[in-house]
Every structure is written in C-alpha cells, then in structure tokens.
Amino acid sequence: MINPMLLINPGYFPPTSRYYGVETDTFQASNGTKITYLRRRFIPQPDQFDLLTEHVVKDGERLDVITAQYMSDPEQFWRICDANNVLDPNELTEMAGRMLRITLPEGIPGAKNA
C-alpha cells in the first residue's frame, strides 16, 4: 500500500486550501524509509488582512454557518481563524458576544475609504 503523504506536492491543494503553496520536505526514518510531509504553515498577523466587516457571535452560532454567510463556503472557516489570530476554531464561537473580524484574504488589498 502506498502512503498517500508520499504523493503530496505543493500543487496538490486547491487555491482555496489553507495548505495551498505550503512546501513539502522529506524526513528519512532510522529504517531508511523516506517520509514526505508538509512544512509548517505560519499564520499571518491579523493586521495583514484588510477588514471587510465585523460579526458579533450569537449564542449557539456555528463557525461554518458564519463563514458561509460571509464567504459562501463553510470550508473557508480557517480564514476567519487566521484573521482573528486563533488556532482552535471552536474558540471563536464558544462565547456569545465575541467580535469576529471578517477580512479579505491575506495579500488582497481592499479599497481605502470605500
């Protein structure tokens, strides 16, 4: 059986993936087996994102629903995590009243004073 991680290359992930563009590296185990893995993905600082709006979390609200509302794709929840400097997605909705930054993707500038 082939280890699926051996098939990974930087072009494997679609542009909408948080892993798009993340390079791979290879580790050689003590038995000589080469193991391919994704290198670390560094989370950008929140000030690297242009703010579109802010969202106040309601009691019982789910991040995938919030993400679908603003980005039309619930799988883009990681963009809200990045924009709010959060690693654990559950942290964003565990407390009603929390203000979430909804931003453009990193590197996409917004119109100033729009």
CATH of the domain at 92: 3.10.350
With respect to residue 113, please indicate whether it lies within any of the assigned structural domains. no
Q: What is the pLDDT of residues 45-83, one digit of tens each?
A: 888 899 999 999 999 999 999 999 999 999 999 999 999
Q: What is the domain range of residue 29? A: 4-38
Rounded to an integer, the average pLDDT of 22-27 is: 91
DSSP-based three-state secondary structure for 19: coil
Helix H or strand E segment including 28: strand 24-28
* Together in a domain, 14 and 62: no
**Percent of the chain at pLDDT above 90?**
60
With respect to residue 114, please indicate whether it lies within any of the assigned structural domains. no
Q: How confident is the model at residue 7 (pLDDT cuts 50, 70, 90)?
A: low
Counting the structural domains of the chain, the total is 2
Rounded to an integer, the average pLDDT of 34-55 is: 91
Q: Give pLDDT, residue 6.
A: 45
- DSSP code at position 36: E
Whole-structure pTM value = 0.75
The two structure tokens encoding residue 85: 């400097």
* Together in a domain, 53 and 94: yes
* Together in a domain, 63 and 90: yes
* Together in a domain, 26 and 54: no
